Amino acid sequence: MLSLLLCSGSSFSRPFKDLSEAVPDLLAKKSMLYRDLREWADTNLVWNHEVYSTNTEDTPAKSQKTVRVSGLSKTTWFQRRPNTDAEYLNITSCTDCVIYVTAPPRFCLVSNCQECTIIMVAVSALCTIQNSEKVSVHVATQCFKMENCIDSSAFVYVRSPPILTGDTRGIKLAPYNVLYSQAVKTLAVAGLSFDTEFSDAWAHPICCTLGSPDETLGSRHKDDLANNSTYHFVNPKDFQPVVIPEARKADPRTASSAPALCLPEVYSEAFKDRMQEMRDFHELLAEISDDSKRKRAQLAIQGHFREWLQSTGKSKQLMDLARMAQTATTQAL
Q: Average pLDDT, stretch 65-71?
A: 89
Q: Average pLDDT, stretch 14-39?
A: 77
Q: pLDDT exceeding 70 applies to what percent of the chain?
A: 71
Neighbours of 44 (CB within 10 A): 10
- CATH 2.160.20.70 domain range(s) in the chain: 60-243
Q: pLDDT of 264-319, one tens digit each?
A: 999 999 888 877 877 777 777 777 777 787 777 777 777 777 776 667 666 666 66
Quote the pTM value: 0.71
The per-residue DSSP string of 242-305 comes to: EE---PPPS-GGG--PPP-----HHHHHHHHHHHHHHHHHHHHHHT---HHHHHHHHHHHHHHH
Q: Nearest to residue 154, comparing CAs of 127, 124, 183, 191?
A: 127
Q: pLDDT of 158-215, one tens digit each?
A: 999 999 999 999 999 999 999 998 899 999 999 999 999 999 999 999 998 875 554 4
pLDDT at 127 over 50: yes
CA distances 1 to 6, 16, 51, 276, Å, are 9, 14, 20, 41
Higher pLDDT pick, 270 / 325 = 270
CA atoms of 13 and 7, how far apart (whole Å): 13
CA atoms of 310 and 329, how far apart (whole Å): 27
Neighbours of 59 (CB within 10 A): 9
CATH number for the segment(s) 60-243: 2.160.20.70
Most confident of 9-13, 88-92, 258-262, 320-324: 88-92
Helix (H, G, I), strand (E, B) or coil at 28: helix
Q: pLDDT exceeding 90 applies to what percent of the chain?
A: 37
pLDDT of 284 reads 76
Q: pLDDT of 75-91, one tens digit each?
A: 999 886 655 678 899 99
- Mean pLDDT, the chain, whole residue set: 79
Q: Average pLDDT, stretch 41-53?
A: 68
Higher pLDDT pick, 25 / 49 = 25
C-beta separation of 76 from 324 below 8 A: yes
How many CA within 13 A on the CB side of residue 201?
21
